[in-house]
């Protein structure tokens, strides 16, 4: 709720004309209590979880055959019923676990100092804060995920997230409710350490969720963000972690690759990647040979005429 009765009052208080975005924000939020703005987060969470995986759902159901070649584990076929089961399960966790947590966490959000007031943050401020959030969350998530791969943590909690040995976008938040709660800690810790505007706070959770959906998509497209963002793991990186499953000692990081590199938990992945690249190169050379004058056959191998 903003402490101004109308736009004119807000402009007088700031000593300048408000920007278009600020006017929109004023119209939207001026008369809404702050807790209502805070509860928007759960609506965004469910909305983006429903919309963002849709392209992957359609590709997975075989609607765009020309995309099949980008599937990381091509032998695994996705069925609609399996996808819908996953969707129902995740929506249930959002409603029963994340929703109530959002409601009771409102005083904490107030205490942290997430503001709803004017002025709005600059785009540069939003960008920097979200980068810092990604780095903080990635570090916390890395260590929690490693702990979840202990024998007890895996059997009691993390096993559920690994039911998808070939992940799909919808399975990004598919996990035991305890895992959803504990992985929420670093996600909330980031804005708690570097509090900003509620718009940044919303955007942070939306972007983090979209990133998790992309990372679990099971597709490595030529336009995947991992090809353009330095140190970003992406779908291929996390897919390997799911592919190995319980025994996995590789690729624990959720967003970037540097934690696994620093703590030496990417060795298996790197070794396999190099081996596959070598194999692909050999196959390529082999095909090249077959096309023009195939293998050179040594004289010793030729039958005498
Ligand atoms: Zn894992
Ligand atoms: Zn995963």
User: Domain limits of the chain?
Assistant: 33-289
Q: So what's the pLDDT on residue 305?
A: 45
As a three-state string, the secondary structure of 144-172 is: HHHHHCCHHHHHHCHHHHHHCCCCCHHHC
Q: How far is the CA of 20 from the centre of ligand 2 (A)?
A: 40
Q: How far is the CA of 10 from the centre of ligand 2 (A)?
A: 46
Phi (first) and psi of residue 35, to 5 degrees: -65, -30
Query: 């998509």: which residue's tokens?
Result: 217
Q: How far is the CA of 260 from the centre of ligand 2 (A)?
A: 15
Q: Give the ligand at the shortest distance from the Cα of 248.
A: 1
Q: How far is the CA of 270 from the centre of ligand 2 (A)?
A: 18
Q: How far is the CA of 87 from the centre of ligand 1 (A)?
A: 20
Per-position DSSP letters for 182-248, written without gaps between them: HHHHHHHHHHHHS--BHHHHHHHHHHHHHHHHHHTS-B--TT-GGGTSTTB-HHHHHHHHHHHGGG-
- Tokens found for residue 155: 């059997």
Q: pTM of the predicted model, to two decimals?
A: 0.87
Please name which of 219, 9, 16, 201 lies closest in space to residue 116, comparing C-alpha atoms.
201
Q: pLDDT tens digit string along 150-171?
A: 999 999 999 999 999 999 999 9
Q: How far is the CA of 166 from the centre of ligand 2 (A)?
A: 10
- Tokens found for residue 259: 């934690």
- Non-local CB neighbours of 66 within 8 Å, separated by 6+ positions: none
Helix axes 34-51, 80-93, angle to 10 degrees: 170
For the purposes of burial, counting CB atoms within 10 Å of the CB of 291, is it exposed (0-12), middle (13-18) or buried (19 or more)?
exposed
State the Cα–Cα distance between residues 215 and 211, nearest whole angstrom: 6
Q: How far is the CA of 274 from the centre of ligand 2 (A)?
A: 23
Please name which of 109, 40, 59 lies closest in space to residue 217, comparing C-alpha atoms.
59
Q: How far is the CA of 158 from the centre of ligand 1 (A)?
A: 7
As a residue count, the chain comes to: 305
Q: How far is the CA of 242 from the centre of ligand 2 (A)?
A: 6
Q: How far is the CA of 161 from the centre of ligand 2 (A)?
A: 6
Segments of the chain with pLDDT less than 70: 1, 288-305
Q: So what's the pLDDT on residue 295?
A: 47
Contact (CB, 8 A) for 121 and 196: yes
Q: So what's the pLDDT on residue 30?
A: 86
Q: So what's the pLDDT on residue 178?
A: 96
Q: How far is the CA of 246 from the centre of ligand 1 (A)?
A: 7
């Amino acid at each position: 709720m903003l402490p101004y009765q109308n736009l004119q009052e807000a402009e007088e208080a700031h000593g300048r004309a408000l920007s278009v975005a600020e006017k929109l924000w004023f119209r939207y939020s001026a008369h809404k209590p702050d807790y209502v703005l805070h509860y928007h987060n759960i609506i965004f969470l469910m909305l983006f979880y429903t919309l963002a995986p849709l392209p992957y759902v359609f590709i997975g159901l075989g609607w765009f055959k020309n995309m099949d070649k980008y599937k990381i584990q091509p032998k695994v076929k996705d069925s609609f019923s399996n996808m819908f089961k996953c969707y129902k399960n995740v929506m249930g966790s959002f409603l029963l676990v994340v929703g109530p947590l959002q409601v009771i966490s409102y005083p904490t959000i107030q205490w942290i100092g997430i503001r709803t007031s004017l002025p709005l943050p600059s785009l540069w401020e939003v960008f920097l804060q979200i980068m810092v959030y990604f780095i903080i969350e990635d570090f916390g998530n890395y260590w929690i995920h490693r702990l979840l791969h202990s024998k007890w943590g895996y059997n009691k909690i993390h096993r559920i997230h690994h039911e998808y040995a070939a992940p799909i976008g919808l399975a990004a938040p598919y996990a035991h409710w305890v895992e959803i709660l504990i992985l929420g800690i670093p996600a909330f810790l980031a804005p708690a350490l570097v509090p900003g505007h509620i718009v940044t706070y919303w955007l942070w959770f939306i972007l983090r969720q979209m990133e998790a959906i992309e990372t679990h998509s099971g597709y490595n497209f030529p336009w995947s963000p991992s090809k353009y963002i330095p140190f970003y793991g992406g779908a291929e990186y996390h897919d390997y972690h799911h592919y190995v499953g319980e025994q996995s000692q590789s690729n624990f990081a959720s967003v970037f690759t540097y934690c696994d590199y620093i703590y030496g938990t990417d060795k298996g992945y790197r070794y396999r990647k190099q081996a596959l690249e070598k194999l692909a190169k050999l196959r390529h050379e082999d095909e090249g040979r077959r096309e023009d004058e195939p293998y050179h056959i040594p004289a010793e191998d030729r039958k005498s005429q």
